[in-house]
Amino acid sequence: MKVLKIDHLGIAVNSIDEGRNFWSGILGLNFEGDETVAQQKVKTAFFPVGESEVELLESTEPDGPVAKFIEKKGEGIQHVAFRVANIEEALAELKLKGVRLIDETPRIGAGGAKIAFLHPKSTSGVLVELCERS
């Protein structure tokens, strides 16, 4: 598999509108609008930073994964996403190497990217997202 770069950092926030005050208002990152991914019960907003992006994640449901994360750990970095050239190939290789996968097959995330999560038990405690964009 080929890991191309850190695609984005996923940061769980209580409110994207409030989060924007820092990321956009103070750091000056460009806010490019938000998008709701109903299947993951989340609203996301991307802020490009050079070759990578910051992704703010706000839960749309009290039982969503981002709401549960904030309940346990508070706001903060929730996942790190790596861009890969071919996500199906990467998942097959990781599975072969005994890495625990949350998603055995990719699903469609924000911006139409193909994404899949790896289990933190296999990654030093970090929720890792793989992401392929065309």
Q: Which residue has the tokens 């509108």?
A: 17
One-character DSSP codes across 13-81: -S-HHHHHIIIIIIT-PPP--EEEEGGGTEEEEEEEETTEEEEEEEESSTTSHHHHHHHHH-SEEEEEE
Residue 33 or 98: the one with the smaller Cβ distance to Zn ion is: 33
Q: Check binding of 10 to Zn ion (CB under 5 A).
A: yes
Interacting positions 68-107 with Zn ion (CB under 5 A): 81
**Nearer to Zn ion by C-beta: 54 or 94?**
54
Shortest distance (Å) from residue 129 CB to Zn ion: 5
**129/132 with CB nearer Zn ion:** 129
User: Distance between CA 2 and CA 6 in Å, rounded?
Assistant: 12
19 binds Zn ion (CB under 5 A): no
| Residues at the site binding Zn ion, with contacts judged by CB under 5 A | 10, 55, 81, 129
